Amino acid sequence: MRGGFATTLMAFAVAIAAAVARAEDPLPSWNDGAAKQAIVRFVKETTEKGSAKFVPPEERIATFDQDGTLWVEHPMYTQVIYCFDWVKTLAERRPELKSIEPFKTVLSDDREAIAKLSTPDLEKIVAVGVSGMSVDDFRLDVDKWITTAKHPRWGRLYTDLVYQPMLEVMRFFRANGYRTYFVTGGGQDFVRAYAEQVYGVPPEQVVGSAGETKFGYNKAGRPFLTKEPRLLLLDDHAGKPEGIHLMIGRRPRAAFGNSTGDRQMLEYTGAGDGARLMMLVLHDDAEREYAYGPAQGLPDTKVGTFTQALYDEAKQRGWIVISMKKDWKRIFAFEQ
Amino acid sequence: MRGGFATTLMAFAVAIAAAVARAEDPLPSWNDGAAKQAIVRFVKETTEKGSAKFVPPEERIATFDQDGTLWVEHPMYTQVIYCFDWVKTLAERRPELKSIEPFKTVLSDDREAIAKLSTPDLEKIVAVGVSGMSVDDFRLDVDKWITTAKHPRWGRLYTDLVYQPMLEVMRFFRANGYRTYFVTGGGQDFVRAYAEQVYGVPPEQVVGSAGETKFGYNKAGRPFLTKEPRLLLLDDHAGKPEGIHLMIGRRPRAAFGNSTGDRQMLEYTGAGDGARLMMLVLHDDAEREYAYGPAQGLPDTKVGTFTQALYDEAKQRGWIVISMKKDWKRIFAFEQ
């Protein structure tokens, strides 16, 4: 019995030690390596008083691309799937769409043809999917869709498919006085519908592609805003630093992306003085998620392209490439 | 001697009591009246735990127009004066401007003719005054101008002409967990240059009229942003609620303005549920500042028009009109 007690005590002590170690590790879903070390070092160096690289709290801004950086973007961007579903609903009221491209293709359910739709096609679908709706109705519609629609591969809500290691990075930054911003090519109003609940990012910290809205009054004289088709900001490529200037007015200290659309945001971030952290997620794990580049010989893709030129620029400028396969212990919270 | 000591002690006690009273009064430059009471009541009711009108901290947003609400806008908007000075500098390099309207009028120094310039004329001047400059150079130029240019009436810096009672309101709101935003028809980048130092409002909380910027690289390959002539957001009238949705994504709980350009912002604010506070500053004090409306029989003006229709709407909707003459003990910090 005594041996048994000692063993129990030892096991208990080990369990406590492990729990303490976990509690002390802000990034438990990361394998120890250059990427994890760079994040921990950057946060430590920029927030410890007396550090040569100290950054005042008001300047602690970290920006995150969403699709492919914070959640799954394959086989297609989540917002585009939302719009496809919207087109199906719309076609019930407007059957003429069934014979007009690109709607005809969307309604065909022909996955190969859908995968070949061009970016202007997708933009047209997104614009039709939202314009004319009130901002409040759009919000309700996204709320309903995002809490019911499921990803074809995992059969789970899209919001279950956020990357646990990146959620830990966002929380770690916030715990050290950083404000975490989305800087996404996705629609600002779409992302705002779930960003606070899923990522802890409030609406005023969502920079995204944004269309015009139009102020007007309903029959009772109550003012409301309607979504209009004209795009004010296409928040991708050069639009990302432009959107950051428009919406934040400060240069980020850290920026995270995963594709050529994030290149200019990382360049702009890196062009500032003092400590800066730039990181790119590389999708090299077909087994647990997807593998695409075409950098490093990975399969080519139209959704979230990570070219070899971007990979080479990253190496040359000292940006850190995160390997999903090697750097992440687990990808989703639902994994054991 | 004893009587003397008692008198000194009494005077000391009175001075301390007065100091304590001042310390307890968050709005010492306000006369006691309906306007002051409404502000104090609103902040108390929306921030005290258990209050039926409690507003969670993340939703505590108060928006402020700038020109005529937070600082002097007569005889002309400060940013327009800045642009006039810029046109004079530009004309030295481009003498052809001396024969092209509206630049000819600006360069004539004919105050009456200048006062008659139309809004499109002023917009043209503002666009010429900024487009083609890098965002960083523009910031340096505004920094230099705003710390040297002086108002013709007081011979003081424009930033000395902020309304002390409104600074107290902003501080009072912030001390109670509200975030104070600018929602100004003025240029976003212009206002950001001094907003933090003068008003305590950081760049990411300045919503203003905004032009496009263009991302590019200098000869050394360093990325930078250039100001472009195309306007993305004219943050006036209906543009104010539209700008609030674009930049904040939440409906304000309180909104302060002074002219017909603020009407839609106040309507939008008031259309939300729960406690809301809408206030308009009326310029009815020609002696200490300026008097203009034309509401309530005040002289008409093109700069900061406050119509009788707006006055009537305010009364009808329960918005509070602040009388500069009656509600404000002092207007500027430099007054005794």
Cα gap A289→A293, rounded to integer Å: 13
- Per the CB < 8 A criterion, the answer to whether A135 and A189 are in contact is yes
Q: How is residue A284 written in tokens?
A: 């090299």
pTM score: 0.91
Which string of DSSP letters, residue by residue, matches A82-150? HHHHHHHHHHHH-GGGGGSTTHHHHHHT-HHHHHT--HHHHHHHHHHHHTTSBHHHHHHHHHHHHTT-B
Label residues A162-198 b or e (16+ Cβ within 10 Å = b). Answer: bbbbbbbbbebbeebebbbbbbbbbbbbbbbbbbeeb
pLDDT in tens, B165-183: 999 999 999 999 999 999 9
Question: Is it true that the peptide bond before A28 is cis, omega within 30 degrees of 0?
Answer: no
Pick left, alpha or beta for residue B178 (phi over 0 → left; psi -120 to 50 → alpha; otherwise beta).
beta
Q: Report the alpha-carbon distance of residue B95 to residue B98 in Å, rounded.
A: 6
Distance of alpha carbon A252 from alpha carbon B223, whole angstroms = 14
Count other Cβ atoms within 10 Å, centred on residue B174.
15
B223, B245, B249: residue with CB nearest A264: B223
End-to-end CA separation in angstroms for chain B: 34
Under a CB-based contact definition with an 8 Å cutoff, are residues A224 and B250 in contact?
Answer: no
Q: What is the rounded distance in angstroms from the CA atom of residue B106 to the CA atom of residue B116?
A: 11
- Cα distance between residue A117 and residue B74, in whole Å: 55
Exposed, middle or buried by CB within 10 Å (0-12, 13-18, 19+), for B184?
A: buried
**How confident is the model over A255-298, as pLDDT tens digits?**
999 999 999 999 999 999 999 999 999 999 999 999 999 999 99
d(CA B214, CA A239): 8
Inter-chain residue contact A242 with B214, CB threshold 8 Å: yes
Measured in angstroms, the CA of B238 and the nearest CA of chain A are apart by 6
Contact predicate B100/B292, CB 8 Å: no
Matching residue, tokens 């002219």? B259
Type and span of the H or E element at A207: strand A206-217
Please report the ipTM that was assigned to this predicted complex.
0.91
Q: Give the CA diameter of chain B.
A: 82
Residue A279's Cβ-count burial label (10 Å; 0-12, 13-18, 19+) is buried
- Substitution target from A242, A262, A263 for chain B, most B beta carbons within 10 A: A242
Bridge partner residues of A157 (DSSP): A150
What φ, ψ does residue A291 adopt, rounded to 5°? -125, 120
Q: Which two tokens stand for residue B328?
A: 């404000």
- Select the residue of B188, B202, B215 nearest A242 (Cβ to Cβ): B215
Residues in chain B closer than 8 A to A319 (CB atoms)? none
Distance CA A251, CA B31 (A): 42
Q: Are A245 and A265 in contact (CB under 8 A)?
A: no
Query: Which of left, alpha, beta for B291 (phi over 0: left; psi -120 to 50: alpha)?
Result: beta
Quote the minimal CA–CA distance from B242 to chain A in Å.
6
B→A contacts (Cβ < 8 Å), by residue, are 58, 135, 188-189, 192, 202-204, 206, 210, 212-215, 222-225, 232-233, 238, 241-242, 245-250, 264, 267-268, 271
CA distance A198 to B177: 24
**Local confidence pLDDT in tens for the 336 residues of chain A:** 455 666 666 666 666 666 655 568 999 999 999 999 999 999 999 999 999 999 999 999 999 999 999 999 999 999 989 988 988 888 888 888 889 888 899 898 888 888 888 878 887 777 776 778 999 999 999 999 999 999 999 999 999 999 999 999 999 999 999 999 999 999 999 999 999 999 999 999 999 999 999 999 999 999 999 999 888 999 999 999 999 999 999 999 999 999 999 999 999 999 999 999 999 999 999 999 999 999 999 999 999 999 999 999 999 999 999 999 999 999 999 997
Integer Cα distance of B11 and B18 in angstroms: 10
